């Protein structure tokens, strides 16, 4: 079986191995692939693996030997699944591999705001503590999480794990979820969006991106939030309107926006959020711990193996 990986660099920049995949066929790995290179590189392949390279109807239509598409991620919007089904092409993804890592990033971001450890470490490298007349100093607000309200939009794998951690911090957890109230763990109370917006000290977004959730956080919803609130987005960039969040930060109507995703990735240099001191943005790396990427590659290989053996798994 001829196997082509169109953009292997992000999942495996060289610290992991494709050896187990190579045992299943002839493997060609491209670190990155431009849109105009996709068809030529995938030509002749029976199996194609992609992370962010788009395989739409047009590309699929020009790949007559293609029988399998493996998405190196949980989200599979980069593939025209309907076009693949029409051709009998199996499409798989890798579910739940990054739950622990993304949940950890949520609190890394929240604690960066509440405790400002990076700020104080930087100041002390410049000698500020050594020059202090007192045994300690602080010049930022320091906030205790215990007793505060943590709102969650979406209680899938990641949202549920975030809820557990928030409860362990002693926070009151509320969630907007399709799950019945009596089916939720005792530590989580079901709430509607308006209640979450108006009462949350931390509001974390973990819902899918759909027509209904696109720009869920906008000028109107931001007006309902506490000026002291921290907004967290490790889900999808377009869940928020960048311009509206930037304006709320600039006007002091939101304490902080912490995000690992952006509407456009990489973001344009003139994105209004990048210039806001209250925006703490990481470059879509919550999923990228070595442990999570090891699980990702292992499951992707297992998906190809299962397909080759005639019993495909993780089909989308």
User: Edge-to-edge strands of the sheet including 188-190?
Assistant: 188-190, 172-176, 149-153, 202-205, 230-233, 256-259, 279-281
End-to-end CA distance of the chain: 22
CA dihedral over 235, 165, 281, 72, signed as positive or negative:
negative
Cβ atoms within 10 A of the Cβ of 109, count? 25
Scan for tokens 């739940």, then name that residue. Answer: 96
Q: Catalytic annotation on 265? A: yes
Q: Catalytic annotation on 116? A: no
Q: Catalytic annotation on 144? A: no
**Could you give the 3-state DSSP secondary structure of residue 188?**
strand
Across the chain, which distance is largest between two alpha carbons, in Å?
74
The CA distance from 240 to 230, in Å, is 14
> Tokens for 276?
């806001």
Whether the CB-CB separation of 276 and 257 falls below 8 Å is answered with yes
Whether the CB-CB separation of 269 and 276 falls below 8 Å is answered with no
Residue of 118, 265, 291, 309 with catalytic role: 265
Residue of 109, 161, 206, 236 with catalytic role: 236
Query: Could you give the residue numbers annotated as active site?
Result: 236, 265, 284
């Amino acid at each position: 079986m001829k196997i082509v990986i169109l953009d292997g660099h992000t999942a495996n920049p060289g610290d992991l191995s494709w050896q187990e995949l190579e045992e299943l066929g002839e493997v060609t790995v491209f670190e990155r692939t431009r849109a105009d290179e996709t068809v030529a590189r995938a030509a002749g392949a029976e199996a194609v693996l992609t992370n962010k390279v788009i395989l739409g109807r047009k590309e699929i239509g020009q790949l007559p030997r293609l029988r399998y598409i493996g998405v190196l991620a949980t989200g599979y919007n980069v593939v025209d699944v309907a076009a693949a089904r029409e051709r009998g092409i199996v499409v798989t993804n890798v579910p739940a591999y990054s739950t622990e890592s993304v949940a950890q990033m949520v609190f890394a971001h929240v604690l960066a705001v509440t405790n400002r450890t990076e700020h104080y470490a930087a100041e002390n490298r410049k000698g500020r503590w050594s020059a202090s007349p007192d045994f300690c100093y602080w010049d930022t607000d320091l906030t205790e999480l215990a007793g505060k309200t943590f709102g969650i939009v979406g209680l899938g794998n990641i949202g549920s794990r975030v809820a557990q951690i928030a409860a362990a911090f002693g926070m009151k957890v509320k969630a907007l979820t399709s799950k019945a109230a009596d089916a939720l763990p005792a530590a989580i109370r079901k709430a509607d969006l308006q209640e979450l917006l108006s009462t949350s000290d931390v509001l974390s977004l973990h819902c899918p991106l759909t027509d209904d959730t696109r720009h869920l956080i906008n000028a109107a919803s931001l007006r309902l939030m506490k000026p002291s609130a921290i907004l967290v987005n490790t889900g999808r960039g377009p869940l928020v309107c960048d311009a509206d969040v930037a304006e709320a930060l600039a006007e002091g109507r939101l304490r902080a926006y912490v995000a690992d995703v952006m509407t456009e990735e990489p973001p344009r240099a003139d994105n209004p959020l990048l210039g806001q001191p209250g925006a703490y943005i990481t470059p879509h790396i919550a999923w990228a711990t070595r442990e999570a990427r090891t699980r990702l590659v292992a499951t992707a290989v297992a998906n190809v193996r299962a397909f080759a053996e005639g019993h495909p798994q993780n089909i989308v």
